[in-house]
Amino acid sequence: MTRQRDYEGEHLPVSMDMGTRVDAGENACTRASQCAGNDVNVYAHEHVHANEHTFAPAQKTQKCVVLGVSACVAIYKACELIRQLQKRSFDVRVVMTEHATHFIDPTLFRALTKHPVAVGLFDKPSDPIHHISLARMADVFVIAPATMNVIAKLAAGIADDILTTSVLATSAPLIIAPAANSVMYEAPASKENRRKLAARGVRFVEADAGELACGEVGKGRMAEPASIVEAVCLCFDDAHHANALQGVDASAQLAGSVDASSQLTRQRVASKARKELSGKRVLITAGPTHEYIDPVRFIGNPSSGKMGFCLAQAACRLGARVELVSGPTNLSAPEGVQLIRVTSAQEMFKAVQERFSSCDVALFSAAVSDFRPLECADHKLKKANNYNSLTHIDLVENPDILQQMGAAKTHQIVVGFAAETSNVIPYAREKLVAKHADMIVANKVSATQGFACDTSQATLVLPQECIELPEMPKIQLAGEIFHVLVKRLLSFA
């Protein structure tokens, strides 16, 4: 009988530099470092057999994450995902499809988790219904990477292997991190399958855009482990999650240059700061502004609004009442956030003026156009008949929203953003003073970094210090910004 393959697109059943298949009996420590690309703590020279299943329940003091792994080149990221989950004191159990074992031997995951790895429905484990046991022990069920084949099965309710039967049997929240060739990822059937699952309450950590293993460039790269960990953390009630985080190094603090491996997660900030931000009003601006020349042309910039929307999401989950004033974007309002959509700088200024006096914290992450045309034509200007009008446009200055709100503040904490191509910190220090801000989030932009990206590297510039952060997902950066606000600036910290 021919097996149906579940590796696809980005998923090639070949040997690769970043992820050599790990065979039982080989040194798991050596292979782990090849797959994860960094120092993964495993037990060297420990020879274990992945098919010797004894599925003991997770410790009661720990939350259990069951990680489903399907056949995909991105499987090497699962090693780092396990490591990051363990650093946050989660107990991790791994379930693999049989095709996934063509990429990594289950021995590696057993060495990383110190638990047996479930692969086959009929492995004759000590627990004859181990898919039910796995389903019951899961506090959160994660599939990363998830192929389009596995997603299609789940959308159709098919349960024909250990992974899909465990998912169908669990009542735990389900998080899926897809990975595929860009054409497969955007295929109508794939989109419909994701839509069906999302409608049932499945949470997706969407794939990133970039270069894929097949050589194409597009959307389909599995999200980075930090983004998936963020999604896992958000599944837990803050009070319970605070207990799960007691094992995290409490001495890890934001000061000077911060090592990403010791970074407090945004969710740890949430567990500590929720009572302080509960009932507080946070005002955020996001996205670009469009200053129209005529109905089809405008002056603008490539801001995607992602940073502002991440800030709104983080603030809302910290207990704040959030108002988000956004320029033109394709983003949906985060749950619980009041979204006010505007187009021009003048519209944004008016919306901010109406709300600023009642807010406690204002974060101005929008990329506001400095100038607008003196006049906007009410019809399209034809190039042949309006050459001078299109090549010589009279401009007037837009209101400086950050500067005016900074000067008008009474009790508010004001945070500005500075995107620079050079001299990032000196310019940010100047802006801190000139705009009457309490903090400037400064980052360098280039063709490959900054606008429209899902990650960012930033420096938080305050009057007495600079806090340099490593590159991280913008949702995580949003949490770090609020952590500093609570610890350094807010009077009730």
Cβ 474 vs Cβ 306: under 8 Å: yes
Task: Identify the CA nearest to 312 among candidates 281, 289, 290.
Answer: 281
- Given the DSSP bridges, would you call strands 395-397 and 371-373 parallel, antiparallel or unpaired? antiparallel
Phi/psi for 217 (5° steps) reads -120, 125
Task: Tell me the sheet residues that pair with 65.
Answer: 92, 140
Reported residue count of the chain is 493
Distances (CA, A) of 33 to 13, 18, 36, 37, 112: 20, 9, 5, 5, 11
- Of 309, 258, 319, 253, whose CA–CA distance to 284 is shortest? 309
**Contact present, 489 and 439 (Cβ < 8 Å):** yes
Active site residue 359: no
Nearest-5° Cα angle at 223, 306 to 29: 145
Asked whether 170 and 135 are in contact (CB, 8 A), the reply is yes
Q: Are 60 and 242 in contact (CB under 8 A)?
A: no
Give CA–CA dist 296/290, Å, rounded. Answer: 11
| 214, 316, 359, 453: the active-site residue | 214
What are the residue numbers of the active site? Answer: 214
